[in-house]
Chains A and B, each alone.
Chain A
Amino acid sequence: MEENRSDLYHPLLLEYNRAPEHYEKRPEATVILEASNPLCGDKFVLYLDVENGVVVRASFYGHGCAVSKASASVLMRKIQGRPVAEIRLLLAVFLQLLCDTSAAAVAPDADFAIFLPVRQYQERLGCATLAWETLDQFFRKN
Chain B
Amino acid sequence: MFDALQLRKEFPLLDGYPDLVFLDNAATTQKHQTVIEAERRFYTHQNANVHRAVYPLAAAATVAYERTREQLRAFLNARYAAEIIFTSGATAAINLVAHSFGPERLQAGDAVLVSAMEHHANLVPWQQLCRRRQARLLVAPLSPGGALDDLAFERCLTEHPVRLVALTQASNVLGTINPVRELAALAHRHGAAVLVDAAQSAAGMPIDVQDLDADFLVFSAHKMYGPTGLGVLYGKKHLLDEMPPWQTGGEMIREVSFGHTEFAPPPQKFEAGTPNLAGVAAFGAALDFLTALGRENIALHLRALRDYAAGELARIPGLTLIGRAPETTGILSFAVDGVHPHDLSTLLGEQQLCIRAGHHCAQPLLELLGLPGGTARASFAVYTAEPDVRRLAEGLLRALRILRAVP
In the complex, which residues of chain A have a beta carbon less than 8 angstroms from the beta carbon of B76? none
Contacts of A139 in B (CB 8 A): none
Contact, CB under 8 Å: B358 / A41? yes
Contact of A40 with B343 in the complex, beta carbons under 8 Å: no
Chain B, residues 194-214, CB within 8 Å of chain A (1/0): the string is: 000000000000000000000
Q: Are B406 and A18 in contact (CB under 8 A)?
A: yes
Tell me whether B343 and A66 are in contact (CB under 8 A).
Answer: yes
Q: How many residues of B contact A (CB 8 A)?
A: 22
User: CB of A136 within 8 A of chain B?
Assistant: no
Chain B residue at smallest Cβ distance from A62: B372
Complex CA gap A66/B347 in Å reads 12
Beta-carbon contact of B374 and A40 below 8 Å: yes
| Interface check B387, CB cutoff 8 A | no
Task: Tell me which residues across on chain B come within 8 A of A43, comparing CB atoms.
Answer: 372
The 0/1 profile, CB within 8 Å of A marked 1, for residues 380-407 of chain B is 0000000000000000000000110111
- Known contacts: A1-B17, A65-B373. The answer to whether A40 contacts B405 by CB under 8 A is no
Looking at the assembled complex, report how far the CB atom of A127 sits from the nearest CB atom of chain B, in whole angstroms.
Answer: 7
Residues from 335 to 393 in B contacting A, C-beta threshold 8 Å: 339-343, 346-347, 350, 357-359, 363, 366, 372-374
Question: Chain A residue with minimal CB distance to B350?
Answer: A5
- Given the contacts A11-B407, A15-B407, A18-B406, A41 and B373 also touching, CB distance less than 8 Å: yes
Let me know if A14 and B407 touch, CB within 8 A: yes
A67 at the interface (CB under 8 A from B): yes
Min distance, Cβ B13 to any Cβ of chain A, angstroms: 10
How many Å lie between the Cα of A67 and that of B343 in the bound state? 8
B407 touches A12 (CB 8 A): yes
CA A12 – CA B373 in complex, angstroms?
23
Known contacts A9-B343, A40-B358, A124-B342, A63 near B406 by CB under 8 Å: no
Flag A21-56 by CB within 8 Å of B: 1 or 0 each.
000000000000000001111110000000000000
Q: Is B358 a contact partner of A39 (Cβ separation < 8 A)?
A: yes
- Assuming A41-B359, A41-B373, is B340 touching A66 (CB within 8 A)? yes
By beta carbon, the residue of chain A nearest B373 is A41
Q: Does B342 contact A65, Cβ atoms closer than 8 Å?
A: yes
**Residues of chain A contacted by B340 (CB below 8 angstroms):** 63-66
Report the bound CA distance from A41 to B361 in whole Å: 11
Does chain B have a CB within 8 A of A138? no
Q: Once the chains bind, are B403 and A9 in contact (CB under 8 Å)?
A: yes
A14, B88: Cα distance in complex, Å: 43
Residues of B within 8 A of A40 (CB): 342, 357-359, 373-374
Which A residues are CB-close (under 8 A) to B343? 9, 65-67
Chain A residues 51-82 with CB under 8 Å of chain B are 63-67
Residues 1-40 of B, flagged 1 when their CB comes within 8 A of A and 0 if not, give 0000000000000000100000000000000000000000
A-side contacts of B372, CB under 8 Å: 41, 43, 63
| Distance between B321 CB and nearest chain A CB, rounded to angstroms | 19
Task: Verify B373–A42 contact, CB threshold 8 A.
Answer: yes
- Bound complex: CA A11 to CA B403 (Å): 9
Q: Which residue of B lies closest to A124 (CB)?
A: B346
Contact B402 A9 (CB under 8 A): yes
Sample (16) of A-B pairs whose CB atoms are under 8 Å apart: A8-B346, A9-B347, A11-B405, A14-B407, A15-B407, A40-B342, A40-B359, A40-B373, A41-B359, A41-B372, A63-B373, A64-B340, A65-B341, A66-B340, A66-B343, A121-B346
9 shortest A-B CB distances, which residue pairs? Answer: A65-B340, A11-B407, A65-B342, A41-B373, A66-B343, A41-B372, A65-B343, A41-B374, A15-B407
